[in-house]
Chain A
């Protein structure tokens, strides 16, 4: 069965620090990969996605993620975080032959200190 693992449960950073959130998945076939963000009290928003092509994907708000197929990883990065980035971040995987069904990671809570 597919699974998604996010290594960090809670990350605390100061403003301007660099961010990297880990995400690994287990599935041997073709996958689509997503990062979603959930701000306090709000619904999920898509940060970025990878379907094919350039494995370095740029998303909104300065976020990017790199798909490394050999490592089954899709880590999220941001060079300089802001207080407004405080939120919960979810990595999700969609197996190519399973329509729009998403498997989510456990989530990483990011707290950015002003």
Chain B
């Protein structure tokens, strides 16, 4: 079945550094991918919609200059957390629909810890 691969699964970085998270659709093309953030014991909050070949669409309250999204190909979207702060520590999850409104396929998530 369709698979979304997310890398890395876990990353620890120091405050002020940048971290890049990759999301790949392994056996299908995804013109759109979604990035979510999940705080402990909380639900997933949509951060942004990644659009292949164009700018990402950010949800209200999400800083686009802090969370840089690039969707350079039909199988890869990246989320870069710039100048990371401890409050950016969270679980980041990407997803991609295989076709139209088909159920989204989720990556395994990335646990980011900023020290």
Interface residues of A (CB under 8 A from B): 32, 34, 43-44, 46, 49, 51, 90, 94, 96, 99-107, 109
CB–CB A104/B104 < 8 A: no
Instruction: Give 1 or 0 for each of B74-115: 1 = CB within 8 Å of chain A CB.
Output: 000000000000000000010111001111101111000000
Cα A107 to Cα B101 with chains together (Å): 22
Are B101 and A102 within 8 A (Cβ)?
A: no
Instruction: For A105, list chain B residues within 8 Å (CB).
Output: 43
Residues of chain A within 8 A (CB-CB) of B42 are: 106-107
- Secondary structure at the B interface, as helix, strand, loop or mixed, is strand
16 further A-B contacts with Cβ under 8 Å, apart from A100-B34, A100-B96, A102-B104, are A43-B109, A44-B44, A49-B103, A90-B43, A90-B44, A99-B97, A99-B101, A100-B32, A102-B95, A104-B36, A104-B44, A104-B46, A105-B43, A106-B42, A106-B43, A109-B41
* CB within 8 Å of A: which B20-78 residues: 32, 34, 36, 41-46, 49
Please state if B106 and A43 are interface contacts (CB–CB under 8 Å): yes
Chain B residues with CB under 8 A of A96 = 101
A90 neighbours in B (Cβ, 8 Å): 43-44
How distant is the Cα of A73 from the Cα of B19 in the complex, in angstroms? Answer: 39
A44 vs B43: C-alpha distance when bound (angstroms): 11
CB-CB nearest in chain A for B9? A43
Q: A68 to B22, alpha carbons, bound, how many Å?
A: 38
Query: Pick the contact of A44 from B93, B96, B97, B100 — CB < 8 Å?
Result: B93
- Chain B residue with the shortest CB-CB distance to A9: B41
Q: Which of B44, B95, B96, B106 has the most CB of A within 10 A?
A: B44
Q: Is B49 within 8 A of A101, CB to CB?
A: yes
